[in-house]
Structure 1
Amino acid sequence: MASRLPRLRSSSPTMPAASLKRKAIAEEEEEELYQPRKLPAVGVTGPVRPPKPLQPNRTATNLSKSSSSTNVPKPLTVPRAPNMMTRSSSGVRGTSAPPSQPNVSNRPTSFRTGATGTRTTATSRTVSGPSRATSGRGSDDQRFADFQAKLNSLETAQAAEAARFESERAKVVELQENQRAMSSQLAAAKDLELSRKAELNIASDEIANLKKKHAREVMDLEIDLQKKDRLLRDANEDLRICRSDLERERGTVSSLKATISHQSNAQLTLSTENHSLQTQNTALHAEVDAYARKLTESNILRESAERRVAELEGEAMESEAYRRKLHNMVQELKGNIRVFCRVRPVLPSDASPFPSGSGSGSNSPVPTSVEDKESLKADMSFPDRRDRKEIVIRSSSESATGQERIENHNFSFDRVFEPESTQAEVFEEISMLAQSCIDGYNVCIFAYGQTGSGKSFTMEGGSNEATQGMIPRAVEKVFRVAEDLKTKGWEYRIEGQFLEIYNETINDLLGKGDFDKKKHDIKHDPKTGSTRVTDITVMSLQSPSQVRSLLAVAQSRRSVAATLMNERSSRSHSVFTLRISGTNASTGESCEGCLNLVDLAGSERINVSFGNGFGTGSANGGGSSDKERLKETQSINKSLSALGDVIAALGEKGDKGDKHIPYRNSKLTYLLQNSLSGNSKTLMVLNLSPLAAHSSESLTSLRFATKVNNTTIGTARKQTRSA
């Protein structure tokens, strides 16, 4: 078996494992077949039949199958003991007589092994005869013992043979495992060889690429080398020049060293002074640091205080804006005409014959001191310091008995502006109204008051930016809001017109011809709620600066004249109208609003304007001129009276229901019909003179304004333009 192991190892690695297994089993069976397996004869007398050679059993071929299920060999079958006693033919046990020549018959006995499965056949003697001698029992026991010993030795030999077979089979299995491992190693070696060949091809390609790259690099290095050669030649030339410069500098250095040696003593002196100055500087730095720390702490406190002040101011502004918004909402729900009251300050020219004129040329003394100005002022007070809505005028009169009687007149409006109020503060209160026309509302703001109370200044203002009136500020607000709304898809077209109503006649202040050449009629459109004036000049406005130039033109054409109240009194009602139409292409919305800014003529009585000697030529020296002023004053008073009648009728309409409103009694009320009929937001700015001489007229204006403030005209409605 050992001689055949090299032959198995050298066999083809591709041979199947099952064929190798069958081959090993066949060789083992051949070895067992050629090994002699003989059992000694059993018995003392008689011929002994030689045992037959052991034949291979079928169980040997299935050794691998049985060994796979279990490695423990089957136990040997226990041999049966020979039957020492035989029955006679008559069924009687034999006696102890000496036996005759016994008939010894060979009886085969089968033994089955557990490990190899071979079958052993032995011959045993059978003693036949009627009886058996007692002397023969001892010899049978001896033979049985010998037979048992041989049988044990045979079983031992079989067990050794089975162990040797198992070791050989284990070697065969190990050889098969080695063969499979070598097969897998061979396949792996082939795969490795293929991958190595592929890597070799890739490496050869990379080498070729590296050779090309190396050739390019060599070429680049040669070019760089040529450049460096040129640079080297340039550097050598520079070096020669530098050496010559160095020689010159060495001479300069030697001279400088001599100079330094002379200045060393001075340097020592300066070092001493510098040390003392550094000491002083250190002390000063310490003081500066202390001051800087204090300053930093102060700045931190100041910044925190400023932030707190800013927060409080922002909260106050937000609260004020919210209050104004709620107030406007309440006013819109109530439907009242809002009324603001403004008292102008005392002017230096108030002591002249024309108290509020722009320049009378009189030689009368002008009050310059505070005492002189206070002596001219009426007794006015403003007790509401928080909301600024109240004004109190104290007047004195004589009773029938000659005693002086002092009366306090309290008036309350939506807002009261003191003499110190600026144009910006006034416009801040009405800026939301100016913006409402962008939203599609009709807005009317008119200034009311006696001559010289500051109506024209409130509406038109002065020449500089700080004194601009409500008209230019409102126009700037409208343009600014329209520009901001462009980002939301709104496009606006803005147009303006400026006219005056003089002696119940409409004059175009923006026209180029003379007055009274064209007849202008007022047309109302009940569907859209808009008002148009025929043959009036309507200018397309592109910027606020264009409006200022139009105001200058209108002021030069407006009718003014001198009265006892004012050297240049406005003898007509001026109406500036701003029409705004907007469309939103993204949402499909459209709106059309109108802003009317009205500067009414003076509201004083005739005897106050021209004196009690009117008609005798005592005022301003001319009878014809006096008749014209009288006609103007009567026309003004008629239109203002018609305005009062319209407001009174509106109040009665709200109380009693349907009532006729006399809009057609004057051109002013008919022009402002849509602004007073409840479809618009209306604001009246009452202007008062602070002078004591005008207290009576001021009380009359205040009572009229109170009546207007208590009038309900309805809720404003947004005007939308039909497509």
Structure 2
Amino acid sequence: MSRLPRLRSSPDPSDPPIPSIATTLGFSMSTSTLGYKRKAEDDLDAEALDQPRKLPAIGNGATARPLAASRSALNRPTTITGPVAKQPSGPQRLTRPEPPKLSTSAPRRTTRATSAPPKQLGLSTGLIRPSGRVVSASRVASGSELQTKEFRDLKNQVASIESTQLANAERLAQTMDAERAKVAELEANHRALSLELANAKSLELDKRRELVSASDEIEKLRMKHAKEIMELEMEAKSKAREARELADELRLAKSDLERERDNVSNLKATLSHQSTSHIALNAQINALQAQKAATQMQLDALMTTSSDKTLDLETAHRRILDLEQDARESEMVRRKLHNMVQELKGNIRVFCRVRPVLTSDLSPSSSFTSNLTPDDEEKGREADITFPDKRDHKEIVVSSSSSSAMGSERKEIYNFGFDRVFEPESTQVEVFEEISFLAQSCVDGYNVCIFAYGQTGSGKSFTMEGGSTEATTGMIPRAVNQVFKAADDLKSKGWEYKMDGQFLEIYNETINDLLGKGEFDKKKHEIKHDKSGTRVTDVNVMPLQSPASVTSLLRVANSRRTVAATLMNERSSRSHSVFTLRISGTNTHTGESCEGSLNLVDLAGSERLNSSGAAGDKDRLKETQNINKSLSALGDVIAALGEKAEKGEKHIPYRNSKLTYLLQNSLSGNSKTLMILNLSPLAAHLNESLCSLRFATKVNNTMIGTAKKQIRGSS
């Protein structure tokens, strides 16, 4: 709605023109009237702004003719302006006219006195004109009367003007009331139209929602229709395909019908021939009925036999349960017998293995050529080692020849006997066959310790860790596989096992964790002996689920082991490595439990300072001294154990070395211990080999106590 136009008065055109006397009389609109007018106008403007629709201007089309100000000055009262000046047509502000304020005193005319001759001063009846001329008294009187008449006419005109203004005010008030009524009516119409507009908008929104829902419904119907058309088309195609198939079937049926007709004709021809055989068939039927009776009798006999077999099956099931019980009892007996056999073989045994000559040993560029004496070069590179015992393989003979001071040749022969001697042609499988029984003892709940001893380059690491192929797998992975296999075999008898492992290194009398994540020598590991066995503080113990997990564990450990090159071996092990596999088992049927451990030790290479070339290197010198010290301490412990077995009480110096202190339980008689002596076949290493053989003989002759089965929770 547009803004309402300003209301204006509509004077009657028949009214006489009102002279503009407002300026002459000096009257003006009051401030209060102007304020009222502006307020009314602002209210109407505000209401017009709030309306949303435009309304036509309100008015009767008459042009108001307000009073025009007179151009004459107040000092000329005798002149009256003509008709009222025309105001520009258009809306006028509503004002309430006020009556002009009239002055009761006549306008004063100013006379100016002028100097005159003395003869004129006596004229008392004359007047002086404003221009300085003297007027006579009669003319002054006539002028006064004329002014009085003009004034009365002026008063009459003012009175008529006032009456006209009052009439105009009344008409203006009436017009204002009519306009206010129209405004109220317009406001009512506006409110009604606003309400209708809101209703129309809500109705339009409803229609739009209905239109949207109808559109969605139409779209759904269109999609449904399209889907139905598609389904009908597919169904039509399927029907057409079925019709084609039925047509093919009909064609085949017709051909079959023709063929059957031919067959029927043939059958009719043969029916006459078959009628003669009907009598024979009746005879066969009688025979079959007799056979059926006999078969029924056989079936009854089989039912009787089946019931007997069911009884036999129940008996066999009970027998199986008894056999399982006997198997569990036999397993206990087997463990006892197996332990007795191992004790008869000795709780500490020594195997000797001579490695074959390698290609690197025969190479002229080999580092071993610098250690050969002229005598060794004359005799060849391979030492004189024989194996006379071809049946039990328990003896080894080493021959050595030397020149005396008189120039005569002196030959010495050394015989050594061990629990088993492996020739250079022996494979890893043959060596492990003798060790597999010890792995079974670990599963049965005994502590087992297997360690490789020998000089540098004699094949200790190959024997314990093996090569990259399956045939060259070493004793550690084979023993672990055997333990897992034995544990799986015992699951059927109610045994459940849990295994974990740790891998330690003793380097320069310092224990390092090969499975740790930090740097070596950062943690101080201490060896603790208590009722539960031997443990090392602050080491990582990894749970083992399968042999593959052990393989990855060994790979990580070997990558961290300390190795260095010496003159005796380009990749000599400079530390003792100790792999410990702990196994704990529980029998769910009998409630029996056991704990065992398998210590697999790869000792550092024993070598003399002058032959290893370590004397010129401070670090290699310290390593060699610590290695020889620990191996010497191992020999002292074994010698003390032998003296203790012969003479009784004897102090065992386990604490002289970290190696012997760590293996205390494996050497104290509470374990089954096996030492694998590794020898080099080279003549250049003959002296080292003889020292190793003497040390192994001392160990083999040592008697230690009987191994005890480790029961979980026992002291």
Q: TM-score, normalised by structure 1?
A: 0.51
User: Residue by residue, what CA displacement relative to the aligned partner does 1:506-549 show, whole Å, maximum 9, x if unpaired?
Assistant: 00111111101111111111x33x11111101000001011111
Alignment-mate amino acid for residue 548 of structure 2: S
Residues 401 and 336 of structure 1, relative CA distance in 2, 3 Å threshold = farther
Partners of 2:571 and 2:593 in 1: CA distance: 43
Partners of 1:659 and 1:686 in 2: CA distance: 27
Q: Is 2:670 the partner of 1:679?
A: yes
Q: Is 2:527 the partner of 1:509?
A: no
Contact 2:347–2:671, Cα closer than 8 Å, also in 1: no
CA positional deviation for 1:353: 7.8
CA positional deviation for 1:400: 3.3
| Residue in structure 1 matched with residue 274 of structure 2 by the alignment | none
Residues 237 and 602 of structure 1, relative CA distance in 2, 3 Å threshold = closer
Number of aligned residue pairs: give it: 388
SS at match of 2:676: strand
Alignment-mate amino acid for residue 634 of structure 1: Q
User: Residue by residue, what CA displacement relative to the aligned partner does 1:85-125 show, whole Å, maximum 9, x if unpaired?
Assistant: xxxxxxxxxxxxxxxxxxxxxxxxxxxxxxxxxxxxxxxxx
| Residue in structure 1 matched with residue 631 of structure 2 by the alignment | 640
Partners of 2:683 and 2:342 in 1: CA distance: 33
Partners of 1:412 and 1:327 in 2: CA distance: 24
Contact 1:355–1:452, Cα closer than 8 Å, also in 2: no
CA positional deviation for 1:238: 2.5
Segment of structure 1 superposing worse, 394-403 or 707-716: 394-403
| Residue in structure 2 matched with residue 369 of structure 1 by the alignment | none
Gap regions ≥5 residues in structure 2 = 1-248, 263-335, 371-376
| Residue in structure 2 matched with residue 460 of structure 1 by the alignment | 465
Alignment-mate amino acid for residue 441 of structure 1: Y
Partners of 2:643 and 2:690 in 1: CA distance: 24
CA positional deviation for 1:403: 1.2
Alignment equivalent of 1:380, drawn from 385, 390, 402: 385
Alignment-mate amino acid for residue 590 of structure 1: S
CA positional deviation for 1:399: 2.3
Alignment root-mean-square deviation, CA: 2.9
| Residue in structure 2 matched with residue 708 of structure 1 by the alignment | 699
SS at match of 1:637: helix
| Residue in structure 2 matched with residue 149 of structure 1 by the alignment | none
User: Residue by residue, what CA displacement relative to the aligned partner does 1:200-255 show, whole Å, maximum 9, x if unpaired?
Assistant: xxxxxxxxxxxxxxxxxxxxxxxxxxxxxxx99986652447999xxxxxxxxxxx
Q: Is 2:343 the partner of 1:332?
A: yes
User: Residue by residue, what CA displacement relative to the aligned partner does 1:124-183 show, whole Å, maximum 9, x if unpaired?
Assistant: xxxxxxxxxxxxxxxxxxxxxxxxxxxxxxxxxxxxxxxxxxxxxxxxxxxxxxxxxxxx
Alignment-mate amino acid for residue 360 of structure 2: S
Partners of 2:684 and 2:399 in 1: CA distance: 13
SS at match of 2:704: coil
Contact 2:352–2:676, Cα closer than 8 Å, also in 1: yes
SS at match of 2:380: helix
Alignment-mate amino acid for residue 444 of structure 1: C
Q: Is 2:259 the partner of 1:238?
A: no
SS at match of 1:453: coil
Q: Is 2:440 the partner of 1:435?
A: yes
| Residue in structure 2 matched with residue 263 of structure 1 by the alignment | none
| Residue in structure 1 matched with residue 488 of structure 2 by the alignment | 483
Residues 443 and 409 of structure 1, relative CA distance in 2, 3 Å threshold = same
| Residue in structure 1 matched with residue 394 of structure 2 by the alignment | 389
| Residue in structure 1 matched with residue 408 of structure 2 by the alignment | 403
Alignment-mate amino acid for residue 672 of structure 2: K
Residues 659 and 355 of structure 1, relative CA distance in 2, 3 Å threshold = farther
CA positional deviation for 1:551: 1.1
CA positional deviation for 1:374: 9.6
Contact 1:498–1:509, Cα closer than 8 Å, also in 2: yes
Alignment-mate amino acid for residue 636 of structure 2: D
Q: Is 2:575 the partner of 1:564?
A: no
CA positional deviation for 1:423: 0.4
| Residue in structure 2 matched with residue 249 of structure 1 by the alignment | none
| Residue in structure 2 matched with residue 547 of structure 1 by the alignment | 550
Contact 1:334–1:712, Cα closer than 8 Å, also in 2: no
Partners of 2:451 and 2:251 in 1: CA distance: 94
Alignment equivalent of 1:655, drawn from 646, 655, 659: 646
Partners of 1:646 and 1:683 in 2: CA distance: 15
Residues 607 and 389 of structure 1, relative CA distance in 2, 3 Å threshold = same
Q: How does 1:124-143 map to 2 (within 5 A)?
A: none
Alignment-mate amino acid for residue 596 of structure 2: G
Partners of 1:569 and 1:509 in 2: CA distance: 17
Partners of 2:366 and 2:668 in 1: CA distance: 37
Contact 2:507–2:576, Cα closer than 8 Å, also in 1: yes
Alignment equivalent of 1:348, drawn from 359, 380, 394: 359
Contact 2:347–2:707, Cα closer than 8 Å, also in 1: no
User: Residue by residue, what CA displacement relative to the aligned partner does 1:48-81 show, whole Å, maximum 9, x if unpaired?
Assistant: xxxxxxxxxxxxxxxxxxxxxxxxxxxxxxxxxx
CA positional deviation for 1:397: 1.3
Contact 1:353–1:564, Cα closer than 8 Å, also in 2: no
Alignment equivalent of 2:537, drawn from 520, 534, 538: 534
Residues 497 and 356 of structure 1, relative CA distance in 2, 3 Å threshold = farther
| Residue in structure 2 matched with residue 578 of structure 1 by the alignment | 581
Alignment equivalent of 1:492, drawn from 474, 488, 497: 497
State, as a whole percentage, how many aligned pairs show the same letter: 79
Alignment equivalent of 2:709, drawn from 687, 700, 718: 718
Residues 459 and 374 of structure 1, relative CA distance in 2, 3 Å threshold = farther
Alignment-mate amino acid for residue 541 of structure 1: L
CA positional deviation for 1:335: 4.5
Residues 348 and 720 of structure 1, relative CA distance in 2, 3 Å threshold = same
| Residue in structure 1 matched with residue 593 of structure 2 by the alignment | 590
CA positional deviation for 1:550: 1.1
CA positional deviation for 1:607: 1.1
Alignment-mate amino acid for residue 699 of structure 2: V
Partners of 2:518 and 2:383 in 1: CA distance: 45
Q: TM-score, normalised by structure 2?
A: 0.52
CA positional deviation for 1:578: 0.2
Alignment equivalent of 2:657, drawn from 655, 666, 671: 666
Partners of 1:687 and 1:326 in 2: CA distance: 30
| Residue in structure 2 matched with residue 159 of structure 1 by the alignment | none
